[in-house]
Structure 1
């Protein structure tokens, strides 16, 4: 865990707003004591959930997207620290591990242009470098018997989440992705649009379900590829659920769970599926926040749920006066998952 920047009690104190008569998550969440081996502490701590931040948007840049998702971690952890510790959800269940140090990689991409072939290759190489760190840390968390909650960053990190979990479990895992896009594109070098296809090709991903695919933004080649692998890769579209009303939201969740619960599965959430949420691929049409929260709660109840990954939110791309709202939304999703998963 050389690239891990541990979250300290001092870090926690800085983001927690103390108030008389109240107990905040920031006063109860666990951090790794100074001088302690993180791996050893992971195994010994009573906390069931381990929060990890990945403050990067390199995979998004490599996928022709707008940068900004690197800012989600700071916003999220500030909001999580100020959630009320009460009978409904307790901060003491959570260990804040810290964040992956991607500062060098972020500096390297500042002057890279994704329209340049050579620069795109460099971007992909940097994503691969981050992949190794993500998969190693997720492996360590899962191997210690804990459930990772990963806050991105781009959806390129789904690859590391899946690989690390599969290696810790000793077999391929499944995944369900709440997303407007498949992220199952061709193997053209790593970026945020092919994390699942790389994990699938390399044998870490067994079954994959995409929930809420937008028909207007899914290529024929991706649809053809999914059709060829429909025994292992399936989807339902947003249009069939919320526009044409051909399918029912709750029933589709049940069908999707039946498909993925045969093995441990990752719960992947892309915030660009929600209207007007600042992200690299912001949309005016999509599921409501309430539907997303119901989705996280529903799948979090499964004993097969192995991790939660929330990505693509970009506070830096939002309104300056309300850029805290993405962090607040992430806080809701984290607690929804924990409440249902208990």
Structure 2
């Protein structure tokens, strides 16, 4: 894990707002000591959940998106550190691993123009480098028997999450993606719009469900491809669930679960599916935050749910007074997933 920057107790202390009479996650979450080997520590520690950040927006740039997803990890970890530790939420179940060091790649991409073919090729090559690092880190976390919670970056990182989990499990895995877009574009070089199609083509992704596809922003060619692959790739649309009311949200949760629940699966969350959330492809129409939280809790309760990935949020695209809100939303989603996986509520 040469490209991993470990989170330290000093980092945690700096972002935790201590207050008399209260206990925050930042006081209870664990970090890996500098003198400890990462893998043996993860294998032996009691904590089940491993927080890992990916501060990059290269895949988004290569997909003609607005940069800014590199800012989500810092915003999210600050918010998570200040969640109240109580009988509903227990920070003591979390190891904060740290974040991927993508600083060199981020510098290289700053002066590239996605409108130029050569520059777009360079961006894709950088995404491939990040793919390898993400896949390696996720493999090690899952092999250690832990549950990764991955925050930040573009949806290009779904590829590394899926590949890493599949390598750890020794077989292809399934995935469910809460998203306005399929991210199943053609294999034209890696970017945030084809993480799932590359994982599918290379044999790491077995079955794939897209929850809440936006009909107006899905190309005819993608729809044609999805129809060809309907035994292994299925979807519903936001329009048929929440606009035309042809399908119910609850029934679609069950239908999607039955499709992917036969094996290990990853939960992928693209924040551009939620209205007014600063992201690379921000929308004004989509599922509510409450529906997203219910979605995460519903699928998180399943024993085959292997990881959670929250991506595409871009706090730096928000106004200065509100740029903490994306991180706060991610904090809610993280705790919903942990509650689902561990049934944390207890009688006191």
Q: For this structure pair, what is the TM-score category when the shorter chain's length is used for normalisation? A: over 0.9
1:248-288 Cα shifts (integer Å, max 9, x gaps) = 00110000000011010000000000000000000000000
The residue number in structure 1 matching 2:299 is 299
**Partner-residue secondary structure (3-state), 1:175:** strand
Measure the CA separation in 2 of the matches of 1:121 and 1:35. 40
Aligned length: 342
Measure the CA separation in 2 of the matches of 1:118 and 1:227. 33
The residue number in structure 2 matching 1:93 is 93
The residue number in structure 2 matching 1:330 is 330
The residue number in structure 1 matching 2:131 is 131
The residue number in structure 1 matching 2:290 is 290
The residue number in structure 2 matching 1:13 is 13
The residue number in structure 2 matching 1:34 is 34
The residue number in structure 1 matching 2:140 is 140
The residue number in structure 2 matching 1:80 is 80
Gaps of at least 5 residues in structure 1 are none
Q: Does 1:269 align with 2:262?
A: no
The residue number in structure 2 matching 1:281 is 281
Measure the CA separation in 1 of the matches of 2:227 and 2:251. 22
Measure the CA separation in 2 of the matches of 1:168 and 1:68. 31
Measure the CA separation in 2 of the matches of 1:10 and 1:31. 10
Measure the CA separation in 1 of the matches of 2:54 and 2:312. 11
Deviant stretches of 4+, over 4 Å:
none
The residue number in structure 1 matching 2:196 is 196
Deviation of 1:40 after TM superposition, in Å, equals 1.2
**Partner-residue secondary structure (3-state), 2:31:** coil
Gaps of at least 5 residues in structure 2 are 343-348
Q: Does 1:158 align with 2:158?
A: yes
1:308-340 Cα shifts (integer Å, max 9, x gaps) = 000000001112100100000000000000001
**Partner-residue secondary structure (3-state), 1:224:** helix
Deviation of 1:89 after TM superposition, in Å, equals 1.6
Deviation of 1:218 after TM superposition, in Å, equals 0.2
Measure the CA separation in 2 of the matches of 1:183 and 1:203. 16
Measure the CA separation in 2 of the matches of 1:153 and 1:16. 23
Deviation of 1:206 after TM superposition, in Å, equals 0.2
Measure the CA separation in 2 of the matches of 1:109 and 1:341. 38
Deviation of 1:10 after TM superposition, in Å, equals 0.2
Measure the CA separation in 1 of the matches of 2:250 and 2:296. 12
Measure the CA separation in 1 of the matches of 2:152 and 2:210. 19
Deviation of 1:60 after TM superposition, in Å, equals 0.1
Cα RMSD (Å)? 0.4
Measure the CA separation in 1 of the matches of 2:300 and 2:195. 22
Measure the CA separation in 1 of the matches of 2:27 and 2:288. 32
1:113-167 Cα shifts (integer Å, max 9, x gaps) = 0000000000000000000000000000000000000001100000000000000
Q: Does 1:239 align with 2:239?
A: yes
Q: Does 1:167 align with 2:167?
A: yes
**Partner-residue secondary structure (3-state), 2:76:** helix
**Partner-residue secondary structure (3-state), 2:337:** helix
Q: Does 1:70 align with 2:65?
A: no
TM-score (norm 1): 1.00
Deviation of 1:192 after TM superposition, in Å, equals 0.1
1:89-127 Cα shifts (integer Å, max 9, x gaps) = 210100000000000000000000000000000000000
Measure the CA separation in 2 of the matches of 1:33 and 1:280. 35
